[in-house]
Amino acid sequence: MMTDATYLHSLGLIVAAAVVMAFAAKLVKMPTIVAFLLAGLVIGPLTGLVAMSHALELISEIGIALLLFIVGLELSLDKIREVGRVAVVAGIGQVVFTALIGFGLTLLMGFTPMESAFLATALTFSSTVVVVKLLDEKREMDSLYGRIAVGIFLVQDLVAIVMLTFLAGLGRDTGAGPAELATGVAKAFGGMILLLGTTLAAAKWILPRPFAWASRSPETTFLWSLCWCFLAVLGAKLLGLSLEIGAFLAGLSLAQLPFNQDVRVRLHPLMSFFIAVFFVSLGVKMDLGAALASAWTVAALSLFVLIGNPFIFIWIISRMGYSEKTSFFTGVTVAQISEFSFILVTMGVANGIVAPEILSLTAMIGLITISLSSYFILYNRQLYDFCRRAGWLKFFRARQDDTGEAPPPAISDHVIIVGINSLGRELATRLAADGNRVLAIDTDPAKLKGLPCETLLGNIQYAAVLEEAGLRRARLVVSALRIEEANELLAYHCRAEGVSYATNVMDLGGMDHLLAMDTRYMITPKVDGMKRARKELETLGILPS
């Protein structure tokens, strides 16, 4: 009955390859991004099983949009403003330094000035998608270095748009004159300001009311949030900006609203699917043929990106007063080239300015730097300790004390109440009154209002919500829900984490199963209500005491 078996076949192969490589990656502690890229290489250039199609490109684009939308949702405007200065200075500073040094290096290697210009620019940009995905995996998006990195990448995205405008003009007969370049720059910044202004104004004056109404139904909020994301992406495209910027601003504008966390958690599985397709597709698209012949060039330029870029960053950021640790962590995030680099060089090849071999070279450098920098980011603490012990960081003379830059301590030794119905509300109120640290979770923001404890909007079906609630550090988890499946799921997670669990039991027939899962206490409101009714009959003298 399906009309396009090739499309499903390709998608199936991409997913299957991603799973096989992801499993293998877990065994050798390889970052999943690297696994996805390798999967793409296997089913693409190596075997030719999958070829890119419009539908796969669209899925990749949606994946990028969702990823950046989620990043925006996680970062409020205040958090971005906090790192705005360092992001602009470091972002532009690094672009200038890397481009200049890269240009010199490639000229020395024998490339033509035009090829050197393209290669140096390609080496300048770091991949927002790769880094954001890894930060998300490490759950460090909200850390200081994560926020600086995201700020820098957004600045880089803007610079990339300007550079693309400029370099695209190089292919034309007329070339890109100063007026054209100025127009390009003005358009990019004007578009950015217009989009930012529109999304933030909407977030402040238009969106809160309808979204507050819609948030009673998570499905409605989910769909409207997606609509908002796509609307901003289309707006960005219309203004000549990247879809990353559009999606990020859409997320940022919704981040000011109270349900942002729930939307983020709900979008995550969807994003994971689309973004896996994006990374595998990236591997599929890589044409490494010619690059293999110039291994030394690839190695030298890769080393420049892997070491040179972080070096420049650590130096700039530490000069701005940040600690050695934060500067280092931020620095290693930029040790790879970006998907923009591929677009840029592809444009150069299409315009006949650079040879096709340059594209293969860029692809190979991309593969190497994305793979290795993924390890850098995932194991940044170990890498930092190693470099510090080796004394390699002394050169930067950065501040050692990182007080004030560390994230606040995570919630612990608390009681989690899931489901704020009448029972949940009673429990939360009484436990808090007894001086316990209580965290109440529900999917309805109205139910969380007015509780005398900390609250979290979300659905416990998502592991990310339990992670956010600090389940493994909790003293006790209590479910007041009248949903059997959810209560059993909580019992399952609590047993796995070794956390005590108490639950509301509506059907006494289900008790055995819950007991088998180490449930410590069963709340039986029906039975307790009957006992109380009986007590009332005793008080009235109808039943003997």
Partner 1 sequence: MIEIAALLFAAAVGVTIANWLSLPGIPLLLLCGWGLTLAGFTLSPDTLSKSLELGLAFLVFASGAELDPRRLHGRARETLVATLVQMVAIGTLIYAGARWMGYGNRIALHFAVAFSASSTLVATRQLRRLGQTLEPFARFSTRVLLTQDFFVVLLLAALATVDGRAGGPLAALAKVPLLLAPALACQRWVLPWLLARRHFGEETLLLFLLAALFLFLAGAGALGLPLIVGAFFAGMVFSPFPASSVVRGQLASLSEFFAALFFTTLAQLAAKPEPALLAKAAVFAVLILLVRPLLGTLFARRAGLESRAAVESGLLLAQVSEYALIVALVGFQSGILGREDFALIGLVTALTMTVTPFVADDRMASRLLRFWRKPRQPETRPEWRDHVLMIGYGAGGKWIMKPLLDAGVEVLVVDDDPAVAAQLHAKGIACICGDGADPQVLAAAGAVRARAVLASPRRVADALKMLRSAAGVPVIVRVFETAEADEVRRLGGIPVMNSSAGADHFMDWFRQTTAASERVPKPAG
Site for partner 1 in 441-480 (CB under 8 A): 459, 461-464, 475-476, 478, 480
Q: Which residues of 47-73 are buried (b: 16+ CB within 10 A; e: fewer)?
A: eeebeeeeebeebbebbbbbbbbbbbb
Residue 96 sits in the site that holds partner 1 (CB under 8 A): no
x/- mask, partner 1, residues 170-209, rule CB under 8 A, reads ----------------------------------------
Q: 75 CB contacts (<8 Å, ≥6 apart)?
A: 141, 142, 147, 150, 251, 252, 255
DSSP for residue 323: B
Residue 216 sits in the site that holds partner 1 (CB under 8 A): yes
The least distance separating partner 1 from the CB of residue 241, rounded to whole angstroms, comes to 14
Residue 500 sits in the site that holds partner 1 (CB under 8 A): yes
Give the separation between CA 302 and CA 393, rounded to whole angstroms. Answer: 21
**Could you give the C-alpha distances from 21 to 113, 146, 206, 271, in angstroms and in order?**
40, 27, 45, 19
Give the separation between CA 22 and CA 29, rounded to whole angstroms. Answer: 10
* Closer CB to partner 1, 46 or 543, in the complex: 543
Among 269, 289, 321, 407, binds partner 1 (CB under 8 A): 269
Which listed range, 107-115, 150-158, 288-296, 503-511, lies at the site for partner 1 (CB under 8 A)?
503-511
Give the separation between CA 377 and CA 382, rounded to whole angstroms. Answer: 10
Region 332-371 residues binding partner 1, contact defined as CB under 8 A? none
Region 18-37 residues binding partner 1, contact defined as CB under 8 A? 18-19, 22-23, 26, 32
Q: 70 CB contacts (<8 Å, ≥6 apart)?
A: 136, 251, 264, 267, 268, 271
Region 389-418 residues binding partner 1, contact defined as CB under 8 A? 413
The least distance separating partner 1 from the CB of residue 132, rounded to whole angstroms, comes to 14
Among 219, 389, 408, 512, binds partner 1 (CB under 8 A): 219
Region 271-310 residues binding partner 1, contact defined as CB under 8 A? 272-273, 276
501: helix, coil or strand?
Answer: strand
Residue 234 sits in the site that holds partner 1 (CB under 8 A): yes
Give the separation between CA 277 and CA 272, rounded to whole angstroms. Answer: 9
The least distance separating partner 1 from the CB of residue 130, rounded to whole angstroms, comes to 15
x/- mask, partner 1, residues 507-536, rule CB under 8 A, reads x----------x-xx-xxxxxxxxxxxx-x
Give the separation between CA 337 and CA 129, rounded to whole angstroms. Answer: 11
Which listed range, 9-17, 67-75, 323-331, 393-401, lies at the site for partner 1 (CB under 8 A)?
9-17
